[in-house]
C-alpha cells in the first residue's frame, strides 16, 4: 500500500466516516438536538442539576441555540465527590439499564463514580474504535491492551474499542512486562494501548531481552494516554517500537479514553463532537477564549444516559487548533494537554507545569525520558530537585562530565522556564519505572 502520511501505513482509515467527516452545519444541528435532550434529562432526573438550574433561573426550554450552553451552571469534581456514590445518576443505580460502574481513585477524597448503560458503553467503544482506525488499525488488527483493568477506565475503554472495531483483543492489563513483550511477539500484536511511560518500559524491556521491536515484532501503532508525553518521549517510543504513536484523551468523569484522539498526522486531537461539546474558558473569568488561545477545558456530554454532565470543569489546559487536518476529519481538534490548573508548580513566583520540564529535557541526547521532580522544604521556601536519568552510554565515572551536564540542564531550564531548580543527574535505571502512570512529582513538603 502507498504510505500517505510518512508512517508506513496505507491510506487514511475511518471507523465512522459519516460522523468524522460530517459538515459543520449538520454536526452543530446534531449537537443542539442532543444538548436539549441532555439538559432535560439532567433537570428531570438529577436533584443537583434541578437545584442549580432553578438557582440560575434556567429551564430546559431556555436552550434554543448552542450559545445558550453558556447560561448553564458548571459541574466540578467536588460536586461529584459530594454526590458520592450515585446522586449524579440520571438512572437509579439499581435499574437494570445500568450495566457498569467506574470510579476515580479517590485518593484525596471520595471517589468520583460514574455509571454506564449499554448505550453508554457502545458509544464509548465507538469513540475508541475511531482511535484504532486513526493509528491505522482495523478489524484484522491484534490489539494489545496494556492499560490497567478495573475501576480505572483505561483498560476496559480500550477493550470496548477493540470489540466495536472487531479486532482481536489481548487483555494484558498492566504489569509483568517481560510477559507483555513475549505475548506481543508471539501473538503478533500490531496495535498497543497503554500509558506512554509503560510503552517506553515495554520497549526498553524488549531491547534488554535482545529484541529489536521495530524489526522483530508486527507492532505498528500505539494509542497512549492518561499522562503527559513530550515530543521527545513520543519520538523515543516510536523509534524503539517502530510505531506511529497517537495521543488519546479522556477522563473517567466524562467517559474515559476516547473523548478525543490524534490521527497519524499528530497535529491535534479530534474531539468526538457528536458525543461531547468542548469549551475552552479563561480559568479566572470562566468566559470563552478565542480559538487558538489556551484555557481550561470544559466538557458537556451529549449522549451519556446514566451519568450526564453539564459543563464539567476538567482543570486541564489546552486550546482549540485552527485550520483543517490533512486526514479529512472535520471534527474540531484540541491541542495536547499542556498541564492542569491543579498540578501547576509555583517556583519563586513562576508558574510551571511538570510537562514543561519534560520538553526541556528532551533536547539532551545524554538523557532518557525518565525524570522526577522532588519538592521539599528548605527554610521558609519550597525546594525543588529535578532528578534526570542518563542514557547507558554516558560516562558516569567522570565527575566533571556530570557537573557540566547538570550546569547545561540548569541553564536551559532557566532560559526556557525562568526558574531555578537543583538538577541532579542520576545513573541509568535508578528512577523507578511504572507499569501504569509514571510518578513524576514527589511532594515531601511538611504542610
Quick one: 352 and 307 in the same domain?
Answer: no
Q: Which residues of 135-159 are buried (b: 16+ CB within 10 A; e: fewer)?
A: bbbeeebbbbbbbbbebbbbbbbbb
Cα–Cα distances in angstroms (integers) from residue 437 to residues 154, 383, 400, in the given order:
11, 24, 34
Domain co-membership, 29 together with 133: yes
Is 113 in the same domain as 258?
yes
414 with 309, same domain: the answer is no
Which stretch of 228-232, 263-267, 276-280, 298-302 has the lowest confidence by average pLDDT?
228-232
Taking all residues of the chain, what is their mean pLDDT, rounded to a whole number?
92
Based on the fold, state whether residues 266 and 172 are members of the same structural domain.
yes
Write the pLDDT tens digit of every residue in 393-437: 998 888 889 999 999 999 999 888 888 889 999 999 899 887 777
Binned at pLDDT 50, 70 and 90, residue 257 comes out as: very high
In the listed set 272, 305, 340, which residue is the last one of a domain according to the structure?
340
* Predicted pLDDT of residue 106: 54
Say yes or no: 335 and 350 in one domain.
Answer: no
Provide the domain limits for residue 282. Answer: 1-340
* 28 CA to centre of own chain: 25
- Percent helix, percent strand, percent coil in the chain, to nearest 5: 35, 25, 45
Judgement on whether residues 388 and 363 belong to the same structural domain of the protein: yes
Q: Give residue-wise pLDDT tens across range 168-218.
A: 999 999 999 999 999 999 999 999 999 999 999 999 999 999 999 999 999
pLDDT > 80? residue 345: no
User: In this predicted structure, what is the pLDDT of residue 2?
Assistant: 33
Pick the last residue of a domain from 288, 323, 340.
340
**Grid coordinates representing 153?**
477506565
For the chain, how many structural domains are there in total?
2
Q: How confident is the model at residue 379 (pLDDT cuts 50, 70, 90)?
A: low
How confident is the model over 109-124, as pLDDT tens digits? 688 999 999 999 999 9
The three cell numbers of residue 143 are 490489539
Note whether 328 and 378 are same-domain residues: no
Domain boundary among 308, 340, 372: 340
Measured between alpha carbons, how far is 184 from 371 in angstroms, rounded to an integer? 27
Amino acid at each position: 500500500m502507498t504510505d500517505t502520511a510518512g508512517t508506513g501505513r496505507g491510506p487514511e482509515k475511518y471507523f465512522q466516516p459519516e460522523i468524522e467527516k460530517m459538515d459543520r452545519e449538520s454536526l452543530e444541528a446534531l449537537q443542539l438536538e442532543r444538548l436539549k435532550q441532555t439538559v432535560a434529562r439532567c433537570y428531570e432526573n438529577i436533584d443537583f442539576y434541578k437545584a442549580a438550574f432553578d438557582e440560575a433561573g434556567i429551564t430546559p426550554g431556555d436552550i434554543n441555540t448552542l450559545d445558550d450552553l453558556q447560561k448553564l451552571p458548571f459541574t466540578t469534581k467536588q460536586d461529584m465527590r459530594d454526590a458520592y456514590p450515585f446522586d449524579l445518576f440520571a438512572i437509579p443505580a439499581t435499574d437494570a439499564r445500568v450495566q457498569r460502574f467506574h470510579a476515580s481513585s479517590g485518593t484525596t477524597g471520595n471517589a468520583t463514580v460514574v455509571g454506564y448503560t449499554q448505550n453508554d458503553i457502545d458509544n464509548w467503544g465507538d469513540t475508541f474504535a475511531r482511535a484504532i482506525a486513526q493509528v491505522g488499525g482495523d478489524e484484522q488488527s491484534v490489539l494489545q491492551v496494556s492499560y490497567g483493568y478495573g475501576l480505572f477506565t483505561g483498560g476496559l475503554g480500550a477493550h470496548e474499542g477493540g470489540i466495536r472495531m472487531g479486532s482481536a483483543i489481548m487483555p494484558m492489563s498492566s504489569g509483568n512486562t517481560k510477559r507483555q513483550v513475549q505475548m506481543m511477539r508471539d501473538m503478533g500484536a500490531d496495535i498497543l494501548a497503554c500509558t506512554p511511560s509503560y510503552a517506553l518500559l515495554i520497549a526498553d524491556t524488549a531491547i534488554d531481552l535482545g529484541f529489536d521491536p521495530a524489526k522483530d515484532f508486527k507492532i505498528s501503532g500505539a494509542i497512549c494516554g492518561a499522562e503527559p508525553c513530550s515530543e521527545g518521549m513520543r519520538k523515543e517510543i516510536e523509534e524503539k517500537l517502530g510505531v506511529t504513536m497517537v495521543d488519546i484523551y479522556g477522563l473517567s468523569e466524562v467517559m474515559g479514553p476516547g473523548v478525543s484522539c490524534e490521527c497519524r498526522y499528530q497535529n491535534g486531537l479530534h474531539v468526538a463532537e457528536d458525543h461531547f461539546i468542548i469549551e475552552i474558558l479563561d480559568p479566572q473569568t470562566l468566559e470563552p477564549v478565542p480559538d487558538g488561545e489556551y484555557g481550561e477545558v470544559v466538557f458537556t456530554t451529549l449522549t451519556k444516559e446514566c451519568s450526564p454532565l453539564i459543563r464539567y470543569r476538567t482543570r486541564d489546559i489546552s486550546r482549540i487548533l485552527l485550520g483543517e487536518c490533512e486526514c479529512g476529519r472535520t471534527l474540531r481538534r484540541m491541542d495536547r494537554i499542556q498541564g492542569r490548573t491543579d498540578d501547576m508548580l509555583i517556583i519563586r513566583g513562576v508558574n510551571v507545569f511538570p510537562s514543561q520540564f519534560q520538553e526541556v529535557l528532551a533536547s539532551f541526547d545524554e538523557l532518557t525520558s525518565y525524570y522526577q521532580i522532588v519538592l521539599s522544604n528548605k527554610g521558609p521556601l519550597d525546594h525543588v530537585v529535578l532528578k534526570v536519568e542518563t542514557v547507558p552510554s554516558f560516562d558516569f565515572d567522570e565527575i566533571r562530565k556530570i557537573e557540566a551536564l547538570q550546569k547545561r540542564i540548569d541553564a536551559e531550564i532557566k532560559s526556557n522556564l525562568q526558574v531555578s531548580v537543583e538538577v541532579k543527574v542520576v545513573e541509568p535505571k535508578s528512577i523507578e519505572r511504572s507499569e501504569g502512570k509514571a510518578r513524576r512529582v514527589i511532594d515531601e513538603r511538611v504542610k
